[in-house]
């Protein structure tokens, strides 16, 4: 499942935010009305239920003796919640996830190949600014991007 596009919304004081109609349509066309939100990389990752089940299966194989990976699993799985858009296409983002991602008012919802992400607008602007600077200053990164055929 591929989500495409970038959308800007406002999160309301109760923590509700609209999910873009193309993303909701994509989920419904695949027979999935719900998806999973979790915390990662200064934003929220949203995975379709089928993809989330595969992720949980993979993470269940992490050896209990691997302290660092177990800490990651605790963070990633422990922060996860299942959400279902309401009739207006909104979801309720729990306070712990809003706090982690810094979601206060303006948010960016951004499509990715296997998920979508929810960013605070200010963090997104910082992230994209950092990336643009890296591309200008790091010829190796520019070559890697070029090798993708873009």
Q: Where are the domains of the chain?
A: 6-120
pTM, full prediction: 0.93
The answer for 96, left when phi > 0, alpha when psi is -120 to 50, beta otherwise, is alpha
Cα gap 17→11, rounded to integer Å: 5
Per-residue pLDDT tens for 93-148? 999 999 999 999 999 999 999 999 999 999 999 999 999 999 999 999 989 999 99
The sign of the torsion formed by the CA atoms of 46, 49, 50, 52 equals: positive
Buried residues in 4-24 as b, exposed as e (16+ CB within 10 A): eeebebebeeeebbbbbeebb
Pick one of 3.20.20.70, 3.30.70.2190, 3.40.50.300, 3.40.1550.20 as the CATH number of 6-120.
Answer: 3.40.1550.20
* Tens digit of each residue's pLDDT (9 = 90 or more) over 45-89: 999 999 999 999 999 999 999 999 999 999 999 999 999 999 999
For residue 104, how far is the Cα from the chain centroid?
16
């Amino acid at each position: 499942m591929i989500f495409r596009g970038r959308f800007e919304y406002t999160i309301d004081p109760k923590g509700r935010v609209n999910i873009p109609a193309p993303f909701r349509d994509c989920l419904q066309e695949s027979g999935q009305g719900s998806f999973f939100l979790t915390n990662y990389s200064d934003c929220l990752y949203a995975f379709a239920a089928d993809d989330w089940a595969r992720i949980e299966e993979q993470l269940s194989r992490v050896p209990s003796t691997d302290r660092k990976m177990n800490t990651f699993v605790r963070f990633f799985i422990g922060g996860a919640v299942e959400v279902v858009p309401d009739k207006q296409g909104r979801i309720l983002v729990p306070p712990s996830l809003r706090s982690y991602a810094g979601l206060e008012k303006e948010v960016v919802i951004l499509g990715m190949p296997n998920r979508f992400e929810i960013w605070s607008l200010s963090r997104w602007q910082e992230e994209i600014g950092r990336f643009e600077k890296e591309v200008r200053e790091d010829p190796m990164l520019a070559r890697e991007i070029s090798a993708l055929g873009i």
